[in-house]
Chains A and B, each alone.
Chain A
Amino acid sequence: EAQVTQNPRYLITVTGKKLTVTCSQNMNHEYMSWYRQDPGLGLRQIYYSMNVEVTDKGDVPEGYKVSRKEKRNFPLILESPSPNQTSLYFCASIHISGDPSYEQYFGPGTRLTVT
């Protein structure tokens, strides 16, 4: 089954305690990205990766890091989380070569609360 997985699904943490949210896809997609979603603001892209070892900033990258050492994995790292990073996070992947009708797949989401 084609899917994007994320872990953990829910996380409550304290300010300054480093955390990693994992993301993995099984569709051999080149492009992966991380979004955060806050009420009234829609999906905002944090970071994206066009292929292995190629990552770049999205619209709201401050306070986040990513890596893409393997094609299937794209972890999101918060080195020193702050309360304004409390949000719902989605990992997503999509083919960028070939048929443009291929949909973008989303992970189930990670609800992060930073106190």
Chain B
Amino acid sequence: GQNIDQPTEMTATEGAIVQINCTYQTSGFNGLFWYQQHAGEAPTFLSYNVLDGLEEKGRFSSFLSRSKGYSYLLLKELQMKDSASYLCAVRVSSGNTPLVFGKGTRLSVIA
């Protein structure tokens, strides 16, 4: 089976750093995606990791440990506009669905 877990909700303060965790157990692994989704809008691509380690992209970084089935998304210098849901998704190598999504973490940034 495919299982992806992430916290349901998180709250953080403007200007702070927040880490959103994702653990996965999937049949096959071809990389892990993070998407951002503002309320009522479509998910948009943030990052892709397939090798272990940290990928940095401006204020956002994503980390992967394949041996632990674990990833996190790190958001620095939080801004109010970062209030959104963050979806973890695994590209699997078997089955009929190429991308398996977690339920998402709703992040609220407060002043």
A residues within 8 Å of B by Cβ? Answer: 31, 33, 40-43, 45, 48, 50, 56, 58, 88, 90, 94, 96, 100-101, 103-104, 106-109, 111
Contact = CB atoms under 8 A, between A and B. Distances in A.
Nearest to B50: A101
- Do most interface residues of chain A lie in helix, strand or loop, or is the interface mixed? strand
Contact of B41 (A45, A100, A108): A108
Interface residues of B, number: 24
B4 to A, nearest CB: 9
Contact of B96 (A56, A94, A107): A56
Most chain-A Cβ atoms within 10 A of its Cβ — which of B40, B93, B99, B103? Answer: B99
Interface string B63-93: 0000000000000000000000001010101
9 A-B pairs closest in CB distance: A42-B103, A100-B30, A106-B42, A103-B45, A100-B91, A43-B101, A101-B48, A96-B98, A104-B99
Nearest to B101: A43
Contact of A100 (B31, B96, B102, B104): B31
A16 B97 CA distance: 31
Contacts of A104: 33, 45, 89, 98-99
B83 to A, nearest CB: 16
Contact of A43 (B45, B48, B87): B87
B10 to A, nearest CB: 15
Contacts of B43: 43, 90, 106
Given A43-B43, A101-B50, A104-B45, 13 more contacts: A40-B8, A41-B103, A42-B87, A42-B104, A50-B96, A58-B97, A94-B98, A101-B48, A103-B33, A103-B45, A106-B42, A108-B42, A109-B40
